[in-house]
Amino acid sequence: MDAAMPAADGGEAGAAAQAPPAVVLVSAGASHSVALLEGNVLCSWGRGEDGQLGHGDAEDRLVPTVISGFDAPRITSVICGADHTTAYSEEEQQVYSWGWGDFGRLGHGNSSDVFTPQPVRALQGIKIKQMACGDSHCLAVTMGGEVQSWGRNQNGQLGLGTTEDSLLPQKIQAFEGICVKMIAAGAEHTAAVTEDGDLYGWGWGRYGNLGLGDRNDRFVPEKVSLVEGEKMVLIACGWRHTITVSSSGILYTYGWSKYGQLGHGDFEDHLFPHKVEALKDSSTSQISGGWRHTMALTSDGKLYGWGWNKFGQVGAGDSVDHCSPVQVMFPAEQKVAQVACGWRHTLAYTEKKNVFAWGRGTSGQLGHGEIVDRNKPLMIDAISPDGSGSKKLESSTAVPFTAKVWVSPSERYALVPDEKVAKPGVGTAGNGADASVPENDVKRMRVQS
């Protein structure tokens, strides 16, 4: 954290001393964002009402703010769910989680909200290879290729063969003898690729987002038919669509496409993995799925986006939905190193370690110190070496809330739209019925019993 301290003198030496640690990775949730910086510095910003920022309070943060007091050594990953966050300390072999706890998504054995990082004790001592967080459920892949899942399970998205929520991590028995390489979690579905290149899907499947050729739910992982003999190496989920990349770098998408989020030039759902023809001549190296938009990074550092773009989250400089990939442009043609989709916003950092954000900004999730939307990438000054202004990072100052306070089921939160939802088929293209999904940001309110 020394790099975030104010410089003792002026001039070039002082400016260098004020430079923030370099970014290692970024992640985005429904309305919050996180970044892991060198030196084990963890920052978060955006909506904080459920504790998802980890600062010990329920306040929003408009700029990246260091999570003070979280001294877990050698954090190697941090992942956002919709309204919660998880991190993994490789040295401690410990998963931490914080934020909205309903349905057991934090893995602490209850449904309480937590406002500072707390260890997931059921996973202590387990070497984790990769984690994934969906809307209300989480999964972890161990170094041995086993998968643990926990949280909401009303559509079988935990892969345990039931529809009962799990307050604690449980091993997915269906993968016994199968070595899983990577997992991804959507709102209510899950996907995985194995070390052998096989593709699996389970959970909610109404839009074909499991890739199994129908619209049925699956309570345990089921193998997807091989696509043209390709072996899959990457997997990502949007809210109700799935993205995968083959060993040859070919990009495939399937599932819901009401907003063009599959990138096939139309608004039609696909029940099987379908090649994104517009990028067939590019090698895709990284993918990310948002609520209704998709981003793909090619091996030459170019970033493409498509899908729902009401708030500019595709990054094309407009607010028009795009059903085919559009290249996202960065200052001085900087090459992109990593991209992360939130529900309505997107983060990326470049090879120069500059971090950019665009899309919905009304909770401060873009990190620009304001609450406005942006339709093309804008640098987050506080954690970018080329950013203007002071480089001193903000830090948490609130007294942490007491963790694991029980909240009774009758007092848990429900999601409600803050404005009326458009009727299916009104003002939107495509074939999906989506009346239950709010068009804009959702507010949280207590449900009275």
What pLDDT is stored for residue 20 in this prediction? Answer: 74
- 200 lies in a domain? no
**Cα gap 439→426, rounded to integer Å:** 12
Is the confidence at residue 392, as pLDDT, over 80?
Answer: no
What pLDDT is stored for residue 363 in this prediction? Answer: 97
- 448 lies in a domain? yes
Centre a 10 Å sphere on the Cβ of residue 275 and count the other Cβ atoms it contains.
17
Residue 440's pLDDT band, with cuts at 50, 70 and 90, is low
> 145: exposed, middle or buried (C-beta count within 10 Å: 0-12, 13-18, 19+)?
middle
Residue 388's pLDDT band, with cuts at 50, 70 and 90, is confident
What pLDDT is stored for residue 431 in this prediction? Answer: 35
> 228: which DSSP letter?
T
Average pLDDT over residues 45-57: 97
Is the confidence at residue 182, as pLDDT, over 60?
Answer: yes
The answer to whether the CB of 242 falls within 8 A of the CB of 235 is yes
Average pLDDT over residues 122-149: 98
Q: What is the pLDDT of residues 13-39, one digit of tens each?
A: 444 446 778 999 999 999 999 999 999
- 449 lies in a domain? yes
**Cα gap 345→350, rounded to integer Å:** 17
Is the confidence at residue 329, as pLDDT, over 50?
Answer: yes
- 423 lies in a domain? yes
Is the confidence at residue 408, as pLDDT, over 50?
Answer: no
Annotate 387-398 with b (16+ C-beta within 10 A) or e (fewer).
Answer: beeebebbebee
- 432 lies in a domain? yes
What range defines the domain where residue 416 resides? Answer: 412-449
Q: What is the pLDDT of residues 262-274, one digit of tens each?
A: 999 999 999 999 9
Q: What is the pLDDT of residues 210-265, one digit of tens each?
A: 999 999 999 999 999 977 789 999 999 999 999 999 999 999 999 999 999 999 99
Centre a 10 Å sphere on the Cβ of residue 220 and count the other Cβ atoms it contains.
17
**Domains identified in the chain, total number:** 1
3-class secondary-structure state, position 78: strand
What pLDDT is stored for residue 343 in this prediction? Answer: 96
Average pLDDT, the chain: 87
Lowest-pLDDT range of 49-63, 183-197, 327-341, 397-411 = 397-411
- 211 lies in a domain? no
- 71 lies in a domain? no
Average pLDDT over residues 280-287: 97
- 332 lies in a domain? no
- Residue with the bigger pLDDT between 415 and 152: it is 152
Average pLDDT over residues 305-322: 98
What percent of the chain lies above the pLDDT cut of 70? Answer: 84
* AA identity, residue 246: S
Residue 401's pLDDT band, with cuts at 50, 70 and 90, is very low
Average pLDDT over residues 324-342: 96
Residue 439's pLDDT band, with cuts at 50, 70 and 90, is low
Strands 394-395 and 61-66: parallel
What pLDDT is stored for residue 272 in this prediction? Answer: 96
β strands within 110-179, DSSP E? 114-119, 128-133, 137-142, 147-151, 166-171
For the question of whether the overall pTM of this predicted structure is more than 0.85, the answer is yes
What pLDDT is stored for residue 391 in this prediction? Answer: 65
What pLDDT is stored for residue 389 in this prediction? Answer: 60
